[in-house]
Structure 1
Amino acid sequence: MIKKVLITGATGLIGSELIKQCHGEGIAVNYLTTSKEKIETSENYKGFYWNPKKGEIDLNAFKDVTAIVNLVGASISKHWTKKYKKVILNSRVKTINLLYETLQNIDHNIVHFITASGVSIYPNSKTKLYTEEDTEVDDTFLAEVVVAWEAAAAKFKNSGMEVSKVRTGVVLAKEEGALPKLVKPIKLGVGAPLGSGEQWQSWIHIQDIAGIYLFLLKNQLEGKYNAVAPNPVQNKKMTKMIAAKFDNPLWMPNIPAFALKLLLGEMSVLVLEGQLVSSQKIEQLGYQFKFYNLENALQDLL
């Protein structure tokens, strides 16, 4: 049974929930932070400094740890300038490389490396249901990021560790992530489906995404896993369901794709494209979703 895990990106949306769930199971957490002010120390929660840009890392972070969960990565919902695209890519790949190189040079007991990844690797499609067996890759910048991210993680396999890649869908949470951005225009009475509204949203509740990490950790499962709820919905349905929760009728026409492209540039793929993604693999291994349907997830979060 795992007793201590090292988490990167621990103060982010998924990290904070995962720490709560680890502590609930009696698993102690070490975490890496780039901010010395964010270092805390208690019996089951200890922070350690690292600076991936300079290749610095506090080696004490690895003490008594048997698994690493890597959640670090710059936000993809900031404007994609050429410079910021580099930041998105480096924040994922350089950090993994630093962990890998550090472990090559020290004695450690780590047997399992779990990293975040994204369903955006799959091509945009309105009809195809993607499973982990699918090998087609989209031609977007985000897919390119996911490919590089997963390739960096694969190196840990060469060092005899189990490697798991968690291909994450749209994470729904109260305060952060996609949901508040979807809710805001609806609350203001100007909500509308985006583009055709037919693009799929393979969503997942914050408790379930953290739950999947914990499940992989406890059962030491390796491989690729789609971390999405069993019932994806189209953008127009999600918009309608949120509007119904606030009793705000949708009266505006769909927001045209060209307007979103003008406003967001290349980043418009985030809202205009989507993938229909299967959660069957993780379910067959025994993970039980707390939030199976969007209705229940929204009920809980709104």
Structure 2
Amino acid sequence: MNIIIAGGTGLVGSELVRTLSRLDDTKIYILTRSESNEVNPYLQYVNWDDMKELLPINPHIIINLAGATLNKKWTDEYKQEILNSRLHTIDSLYQYVDSLSVKPHTYINASAVGYYPTSQHVKYDEGDVFQSHDFLSGVVSRIEYESDKFSQFDTRVVKTRFGIILDREQGALSEMIKPYKFGVGGKIGSGKQWMSWIHIDDAINALLFLIFNKDVCGPVNVVAPHAERQENFSKTLASVMDKPNMAIVPKPIIKAILGERSQLILEGQSVQPSVLLDKGFKYKYPMLEQALNHLIHIKDYS
């Protein structure tokens, strides 16, 4: 099986590559702009400018995880880069597939639960359809629209909407634990905002599930079954770390520091993984306390 992964060096991509490389008869091609000296007969790095090297391989699956990070200041210029980086990647992959005589049977594109409106009261799943209503939802809607074009090749299109991915080394959790290390963790803003999260192991297993379950297509929420309000998330994190949870960071301070990007922290959605559950996906860490206990006690954060 030949698999092309765009964005294979990021948080999800690197873990996915590590997992896929253990499968028999699987060759992975990572599209990148970085140099790599890794020697692995089942893994090949290909520069985006040299995609012609991929023409003879007949990929079975393409997984697109690429895109500029959201964790930089959202100037008008950088917001355009967030969108353009994703559109350019999709277009390059589309042009590549169009040139192939044998098309891949599956295309998986990553986006985010930012597709759904923020709400403290409503729960969403893949059956809910919305027009774009803010910057993030506009980005998700646009890249999912462009991803649907791969269906013209009779390719199965899966649009994964990731929640907050919890990992012991990278991403949101490594930032969340910092104030708790100094005893100043606690509620952010109202604390009522929802956090739709998922353990990194479950995120990777969900992608494997989607690769091999060929009857799944369209949007798929890659989140744990139980979203948590930020105030409950912080209490659980404090308990697991055996740290106090008494600080309150007012909303105006967060907005003053982060500007428009503060919506990632101050607002949220309660998102259900209805497709994964209906198709029989089994979570290793469905509950937040389970996930945090595993992640935090593997490595000492105290």
TM-score between the two structures when normalised by the length of structure 1: 0.93
Distance, in Å, in 2 between the alignment partners of 1:291 and 1:151 is: 32
Q: Secondary structure at the match of 2:71?
A: coil
Deviations 1:80-107 (A, max 9, x none): 1111111111111110011101221232
Distance, in Å, in 2 between the alignment partners of 1:202 and 1:283 is: 15
- AA aligned opposite 1:239: S
Distance, in Å, in 2 between the alignment partners of 1:203 and 1:58 is: 38
Aligned to 2:4: 6
Contact persistence 1:6–1:62 (CA under 8 A): no
Aligned to 1:200: 194
Aligned to 1:140: 134
Distance, in Å, in 1 between the alignment partners of 2:129 and 2:123 is: 13
Deviations 1:213-250 (A, max 9, x none): 11111122211101000111110111111111222112
Match for residue 223 of structure 2 among 204, 228, 234:
228
Superposition map of 1:169-208 within 5 A: 169-208=163-202
Aligned to 2:243: 248
Deviates more, 1:80-89 or 1:37-46: 37-46
Distance, in Å, in 1 between the alignment partners of 2:242 and 2:40 is: 45
> Does 2:278 correspond to 1:280?
no
Deviation beyond 4 Å, 4+ runs, structure 1: none
Deviates more, 1:138-147 or 1:113-122: 138-147
Aligned to 2:47: 49
- AA aligned opposite 1:15: G
Aligned to 1:24: 22
Deviations 1:154-193 (A, max 9, x none): 1101222110000100000011111011100111122121
Deviates more, 1:124-133 or 1:56-65: 56-65
Distance, in Å, in 2 between the alignment partners of 1:138 and 1:145 is: 8
Contact persistence 1:48–1:61 (CA under 8 A): no
Q: Secondary structure at the match of 2:188?
A: coil
Distance, in Å, in 1 between the alignment partners of 2:19 and 2:166 is: 17
Deviates more, 1:243-252 or 1:39-48: 39-48
Contact persistence 2:126–2:220 (CA under 8 A): yes
Query: CA shift at 1:138, angstroms?
Result: 5.3
Contact persistence 2:162–2:223 (CA under 8 A): yes
Distance, in Å, in 2 between the alignment partners of 1:246 and 1:216 is: 34
Q: Kindly tell me: are residues 62 and 71 of structure 1, through their superposed partners in 2, closer, same or farther at Cα, counting changes over 3 Å?
A: farther
Contact persistence 2:132–2:141 (CA under 8 A): no
Q: Kindly tell me: are residues 194 and 148 of structure 1, through their superposed partners in 2, closer, same or farther at Cα, counting changes over 3 Å?
A: same
Distance, in Å, in 1 between the alignment partners of 2:143 and 2:153 is: 17
Contact persistence 1:76–1:88 (CA under 8 A): yes
Q: Secondary structure at the match of 2:48?
A: strand
Q: Kindly tell me: are residues 159 and 297 of structure 1, through their superposed partners in 2, closer, same or farther at Cα, counting changes over 3 Å?
A: same
Distance, in Å, in 1 between the alignment partners of 2:105 and 2:117 is: 32
Query: What is the count of residue pairs matched by the alignment?
Result: 294
Percent identity (aligned): 37
Unaligned ranges ≥5, structure 2: 297-302
- AA aligned opposite 1:6: I
Superposition map of 1:53-72 within 5 A: 57-60=51-54, 63-72=57-66
TM-score between the two structures when normalised by the length of structure 2: 0.93
Aligned to 2:299: none
